Amino acid sequence: MKISARNMLQGKVKAVTPGAVNTEVIVELPGGTVITSMITRTSAEQLGLAPGKPVYAVIKASNVMIAID
C-alpha cells in the first residue's frame, strides 16, 4: 500500500458500532491510546472490520483548529 498521507498509525479494531448510514470504528494503538473514526457503513462492511482486526488509522488534515472558552 502506498498513500500520500504521512500520518498512519497502526493498531487493532477495538469496537465497531454500525448505524443507519455511518459506522463508528474504535482503533486501539499500541500503548492503549484509542482513536475513534466515523466511516460509511458500506466502507466498514467492504473492509470486513471486526474487533481484533489489524488496521491503519490514516490521518490527512490540512488544518488544525484551536478553540478556547
pTM: 0.84
Q: Are 50 and 13 within 8 A, CB to CB?
A: yes
Domain extent at residue 49? 7-59
H or E element that contains 12: strand 7-18
Is residue 38 situated within a structural domain?
yes
Give the pLDDT of the chain (69 residues) as one tens digit per residue.
Answer: 788 877 889 999 999 999 999 999 999 999 999 999 999 999 999 999 999 999 999 988 767 776 888
CATH of the domain at 47: 2.40.50.100
Beta bridge partners of 12: 28, 54
Q: Are 13 and 49 within 8 A, CB to CB?
A: yes
Q: Are 41 and 23 within 8 A, CB to CB?
A: yes
